[in-house]
Structure 1
């Protein structure tokens, strides 16, 4: 299955053995007190069930012995130990239970059984709420004695530095109000903790007339709905370490509360007695993530019996999406409720045996970033048939079995799905999910790269190399700093217009939450930042390489024309490139097989430096530098570009290893092997993907690519690659080619074709490495080609003595006259400055020599 359910707690495995051991010990101890625990003859554990889960990972459970005494125990998920809390020596129907963080106070609400009534007139629904001192067992105080059900929940301060002297307890009434009790305690002696002023405990009425409430135990938040003038308004209260609490936001939502009975979520175990009180018709959940997302998931009752619909309000985005799934021949009334599970940046929505959806809450705009599996599918088979109840911190309850699960993504199953699925929208969703949630990133990157190379030709809707690069960088760098995820791209795709079979989606705009406080911290700061972005979003905020593309092309064009901007400008760009390469080299532990980073490669260094410069300016312009710091932003940019080059290097390394080029020697002679052909093809794919996004390549990439091209391609195909700009001629590559290859007829043809296509600034440096008439011919021709266009005035009679190279060959004589005058009047036009041997005499001698060769004289 795609989700991995790891049992964090199993009621029967983690509690029952301890209870049996405790019973055996108590049976052997004749002096055991009546309140010590269970009756030793009790072997029936059908009454054993979980009552509540507290914020710090402690599970409260209860059971009854043969005398109907109610036993309360506590299991600690961290220490894996059980302990006894309290035993009531009477038959009670437990409604709710909670213990404070110090385990000194126990709050319990229960309905007394008919046997406990003093007379027949006493109502059977009498609910008592008790506060018990349990460190050690001391007094019992009645908090409520009412005819309606009460649920209890201690607050657990997130800041735990000051655990004493006060505890805070929420009381949630069936009559639709919530109170907060403030309980002060003090130590009477070393081991005795007692309630101070137990006669009257101060309390605040914090919520009234609500219809639905959900408790977030991990972050100590209370979400609740109130009905106001036919509107359903969602509100949230944040509790803090002290007695303070704040109403954080409110937002009206289009949710119909047809049943006016109370609905509570995550306030403990819902037994048969509670289900008579609570509404079960409303399937509604609120989910948050550390990135500042806020989603409300609502199972809508559809009028069409063979369809199921659910609604997701993306409050941090300002819109909602209604998803409708066709169930085929089944009717929705005959199946169980939809389950919603919070997985941080994702929400899992599933109906066992029918569909499984994995919604990307970070970027829900494109459907292809969410995973939709419908119908019978093996990926869903291992999910429990019983609905799970999602708790905070990626925990989920299976109340039927008494198991508490830690929910995570099954990386191996996701990888298997990536390999097996033929559908682009599934591949795209799984790829992003892996990158967002994957463990062992280095291993995962290699596995994804292997998949990319095997499936490049079968991906039609997106480029897997581009998506891998952009998504990897996003999930690695964009979630640590507020608003960073809005400034850098998260996907290579800009739109998705294709349908997903079996699922229809309707998007509608909604009102943004109205924040009710001024000072934001932690999660609320991120949520408020998301809301501000939706209000004032501008398309240009997201970084694009278009500016880099234009500037890079201008710089290369200027360099080819022999022009160059200020030295300071170039030095700054090249220094950026040096920092990136040094940064990457500091990361690299293993030696690389592919011979990269062994030359300057000015074009790629310019592109690297330009990207660093533009990206840094983009972030400095749009991020609050005063809070983040300029140095941190600069380092983040270096890491971002370095990681991009690292991923490209990993692609080459993976291909190198796959095709066993471990001992590959950089040379040009000989025919390429099958492995070299495959690696050349891989490099072509990488080059195409990267060029379309104008992303930099590791210095040395083009030289290695050229060497493989010379060895693997026939000459006409190689020259086509060069002429079309796919294969770039580098100075290092050309010089090595001229040195390595001898002057056989085949090699001369190759060298001539290469040298003929060299730009002047490379030809100037490489000409001395090939002492051959053809090379002289090319140099002379280029020399004349560069000088003649500058000759615009009538030829003046030259006063220079040309007797040393004067010949009786009239066309050549005229050319020599023109070149001589150009040399004397435009010395700066010499494209081969620094090469003293290139002048008019050199051209004349080369022309005669070439003519002699052509005429076979």
Structure 2
């Protein structure tokens, strides 16, 4: 983001310390070696000396510059390399026409460093680009008998390997012999860290092995296709070809401008012309990415574009993520040709991501790590805004590592750290939901910045009616639950974590983001059988040699086997069936995993699981909620959801771990104890993150536990109508998000949310929410709603409608507690119905609204012949049941109450 140092300034200060009268300028980076040392050239002059060109070796760690060679005059040295023993120096001189900058020739030289330097002309002068590079040897094998080898790369011609004879005293044509490694090639790159040479050449396609398809060779005739190959060099063994990737370069022949123009890239060491801008990035963990940048027009122009042409072209790149067996494509349409041709993008590993910086356009964070499938890519505004496009040529150095890169145009050391503020700014801008989900995922799992995530969720909750809020809440729940388990899981059970859900996004989703009036399109394709492009471990010179290529092979083997992550939809589908039969009054708390004697609750580590958030420096969130975490029913819906989650997740982990124990390169079988540990910790994390999210949203809805004295139903009663509506709208989105991925709700939320809906919605809408199972009428909330509704005719109708929506046992319990004539009538009718239908009833009890009324038996409603309707009805009941089973008081008072007008 900012310039932190400048190599030219540091090097000039070293020169001035030795001789204050010398002047050094025109510094150029000539190359870097495996140990991180850098080769520079510069022009040095003084009052008593004409300007000359010098080559020096610089160590960034010790800030030391060693002069290797001084030329007699000023020459144009474009690249150099030094051997491990610091005995030989190879360099390339480029001669050009100063008037039109046309290349006359590239010419390599070999210099033996010492008191009496010996220079050898390798006699390989060409008009095409030439580069040189020494091979490395381990320090443990360095001796006088070791031969020194170096490569000479001649564009479009060959790659030669030279070996210097051990008995040479002076460098002459007979001092070394060489062999040709590669014939004609179009592009090449040297990887100093892993000592690998990548090159692109044309080869005939292999014969088709799929039955029913035409033979590719016979149909194509002699046509060849570009192939990226990799030569792996060893210290004490012959080199071997470890990689062969067929490339799809459709725009190679349509690149604008004339070819044969070279950039002379020395870091990384690449040989190519303007027709193909490609770079390979590797990491010791087995990461291999092939990055290709190109320009094209959808409609081929009839005339060649000039340098100052403002015609619009498409700026595009593709990243072949070999270790994830996919290709990521990006297109930035509508850039003027005069600007687009000067832009050189930066491709750099950035933790588990790849940072792609396109100057003056945008910055990408491509999710290419092996933690999960590459699907959460982030697009932001460009990092560097204070530089002109033509003055930016960024690349990474082995010496620096981290987030620092060097600008080859100015030798500035630049910090390319992506600040959190830029991600927050992008999230709050008018970007699409896919980009917001990726930013949320990145902050949760790759940066662990939960405070920033909480602020973003709260900011988004200020617009509760936005369509994307439930998606963001789901991403938070799934991502934070995974992160919580990943931080607190034993290392021997780490493979099972890869089976847990990690994001709501899917691999292959297309992303279109508008940055600075440019619609940037990101898409993704899957590679077919990527492991066929590699040399298998058993085919290596040393079988199963532990290096980057074996790690890459193992990673591709895991992908080909195909691990299946647990999907919340599996639990959602189970709950659709089980919740139909869910009767909390009929369940026993001892049968649920959260019960004191249950499998999860009885474990001594339950409290440790529940304190995962506390270990991160956060206090318990229970008091921060606007309701009491208490359930009135015997077994809550929360426990039922936890039980189903635990069962389904455990079965999934057992099945997947059993399927992946066959191959040597697959995960080892996990014991049931590992499965239980992962499953229980994940389910506990679900509950913790669900509670945390509820707290964040309630705080966003202006609930402050430090100021609010009351909680629960009293808090809702005291809320203003506007605040009540905002709180209900936010919690409704929260409820829908949690239900859609089968996460548990905090205890007490259901009743609180139901009463909030009752106070916010009109009654007809409130009934629809209940009928659609969004709101649930638990006993505690029904009591307060029944007390809140008046006893007018409309109020009684509302109460009866609510009672009819309840399960029978719950409605009966509430009727017994409702001190109203209507309750009396309903209970009396039910009692008579039970007697007539033969259902057993309890012991005879006196019921009534008025406690001073006595039992009047058969004298109630007397008539002349003592055959009143009540007498006849009671006679019918006594014939069906014994007198001890009849509640005469209830029946008589029901009859009396039915003569009054209530409804």
Normalising by structure 2, we get a TM-score of 0.69
**Match of residue 490, structure 1, among 458, 483, 503:** 503
User: How far 1:485 moved relative to its partner?
Assistant: 5.5
Alpha-carbon displacement from aligned partner over 1:361-408 (angstroms, at most 9, x marks no partner): 469x999954567xxx78774566223235575553310110233433
**Match of residue 352, structure 1, among 350, 356, 359:** 359
User: How far 1:688 moved relative to its partner?
Assistant: 1.4
**Match of residue 401, structure 1, among 410, 416, 419:** 410
Alpha-carbon displacement from aligned partner over 1:671-714 (angstroms, at most 9, x marks no partner): 43354543332111100122233332233321332354455555
Distance 1:580 1:675 in 2: 37
Alignment CA distance shift 1:526-1:445 (3 Å): farther
3-state SS in 2 of match to 1:50: strand
Equivalent pair of 1:389/1:398 in contact (CA under 8 Å): yes
Specify the alignment match of 2:864 in structure 1: none
Alignment CA distance shift 1:604-1:54 (3 Å): farther
Alignment CA distance shift 1:337-1:582 (3 Å): closer
**Match of residue 552, structure 1, among 575, 584, 588:** 575
Distance 1:290 1:804 in 2: 95
User: How far 1:416 moved relative to its partner?
Assistant: 0.9
Q: Please give the residue correspondences for 1:151-170 in structure 2 after superposition, counting only pairs within 5 Å.
A: 151-152=132-133, 155=136
Alignment CA distance shift 1:113-1:767 (3 Å): closer
User: How far 1:725 moved relative to its partner?
Assistant: 1.6
Alignment CA distance shift 1:577-1:254 (3 Å): farther
Distance 2:406 2:560 in 1: 38
Unaligned runs of 5+ in 2: 96-103, 167-173, 205-223, 302-310, 538-543, 662-666, 847-854, 861-867
Q: Which moved more, 1:286-295 or 1:258-267?
A: 258-267
Specify the alignment match of 1:387 in structure 2: 393
Q: Please give the residue correspondences for 1:116-515 in structure 2 after superposition, counting only pairs within 5 Å.
A: 127-130=108-111, 145-147=122-124, 149-152=130-133, 155=136, 171-175=150-154, 176-177=158-159, 179=161, 210-218=185-193, 221-229=196-204, 230-237=224-231, 247-255=241-249, 267-268=266-267, 279-287=273-281, 294-302=288-296, 303-304=300-301, 306-308=312-314, 309-316=316-323, 320=327, 323-327=330-334, 330=337, 335-343=342-350, 345-349=352-356, 351-354=358-361, 359-361=366-368, 370=377, 381-382=385-386, 385=389, 386-390=392-396, 395-421=404-430, 423-435=432-444, 437=446, 439-459=447-467, 463-472=471-480, 488=501, 490-492=503-505, 502=519, 511-513=528-530, 514=532, 515=534
Q: Does 1:587 align with 2:613?
A: yes
User: How far 1:419 moved relative to its partner?
Assistant: 0.8
Alignment CA distance shift 1:283-1:688 (3 Å): same
Alignment CA distance shift 1:334-1:546 (3 Å): closer
**Match of residue 695, structure 1, among 743, 765, 771:** 743
**Match of residue 668, structure 1, among 710, 713, 719:** 713
**Match of residue 63, structure 1, among 20, 25, 42:** 42
Alpha-carbon displacement from aligned partner over 1:121-147 (angstroms, at most 9, x marks no partner): xx9965333465xxxx88978899453
Equivalent pair of 1:446/1:654 in contact (CA under 8 Å): yes
User: How far 1:748 moved relative to its partner?
Assistant: 9.2
Q: Does 1:855 align with 2:886?
A: no
Distance 1:789 1:525 in 2: 77
**Match of residue 728, structure 1, among 750, 769, 776:** 776
3-state SS in 1 of match to 2:450: helix
Q: Does 1:652 align with 2:676?
A: no
Equivalent pair of 1:111/1:124 in contact (CA under 8 Å): no
Distance 1:785 1:241 in 2: 95
Q: Does 1:603 align with 2:637?
A: yes
Unaligned runs of 5+ in 1: 24-38, 115-122, 185-198, 825-838
Distance 2:37 2:262 in 1: 24
Equivalent pair of 2:28/2:42 in contact (CA under 8 Å): yes
Specify the alignment match of 1:41 in structure 2: 21
User: How far 1:415 moved relative to its partner?
Assistant: 0.8
Alignment CA distance shift 1:75-1:671 (3 Å): same
Alpha-carbon displacement from aligned partner over 1:481-506 (angstroms, at most 9, x marks no partner): 66965763632569868977745678
Alignment CA distance shift 1:683-1:462 (3 Å): closer
Q: Does 1:72 align with 2:56?
A: yes
User: How far 1:614 moved relative to its partner?
Assistant: 1.5
Distance 2:784 2:511 in 1: 50
User: How far 1:172 moved relative to its partner?
Assistant: 2.8
Equivalent pair of 2:591/2:598 in contact (CA under 8 Å): no
Specify the alignment match of 1:36 in structure 2: none
Distance 1:90 1:660 in 2: 76
Distance 1:619 1:786 in 2: 50
Distance 1:447 1:422 in 2: 18
Alignment CA distance shift 1:328-1:124 (3 Å): closer
User: How far 1:104 moved relative to its partner?
Assistant: 6.1
Alpha-carbon displacement from aligned partner over 1:405-462 (angstroms, at most 9, x marks no partner): 343322211211211215445444544454454x352212212212331344334698
Specify the alignment match of 2:535 in structure 1: 516
Distance 2:162 2:588 in 1: 70
Equivalent pair of 1:107/1:131 in contact (CA under 8 Å): yes
Distance 2:548 2:243 in 1: 13
Distance 2:415 2:175 in 1: 41
Equivalent pair of 2:165/2:176 in contact (CA under 8 Å): yes
**Match of residue 890, structure 2, among 846, 853, 857:** 846
Alignment CA distance shift 1:840-1:249 (3 Å): farther
Distance 1:59 1:634 in 2: 53
Equivalent pair of 1:368/1:496 in contact (CA under 8 Å): yes
Alignment CA distance shift 1:7-1:98 (3 Å): farther
Equivalent pair of 1:97/1:106 in contact (CA under 8 Å): no
User: How far 1:109 moved relative to its partner?
Assistant: 1.7
Alpha-carbon displacement from aligned partner over 1:763-803 (angstroms, at most 9, x marks no partner): 67777876666666666666777887787xxx9xxxx9999
Q: How many residues align?
A: 766
Distance 1:358 1:391 in 2: 20
Normalising by structure 1, we get a TM-score of 0.72
Alpha-carbon displacement from aligned partner over 1:283-321 (angstroms, at most 9, x marks no partner): 112245788664423233524552224444454565656
Equivalent pair of 1:252/1:511 in contact (CA under 8 Å): no
Alignment CA distance shift 1:421-1:395 (3 Å): same
**Match of residue 11, structure 1, among 7, 11, 23:** 7
Alignment CA distance shift 1:231-1:265 (3 Å): farther
Distance 1:153 1:780 in 2: 101
Alignment CA distance shift 1:310-1:440 (3 Å): closer
Equivalent pair of 1:560/1:760 in contact (CA under 8 Å): no
Alignment CA distance shift 1:293-1:736 (3 Å): farther
Specify the alignment match of 2:208 in structure 1: none
User: How far 1:240 moved relative to its partner?
Assistant: 7.0
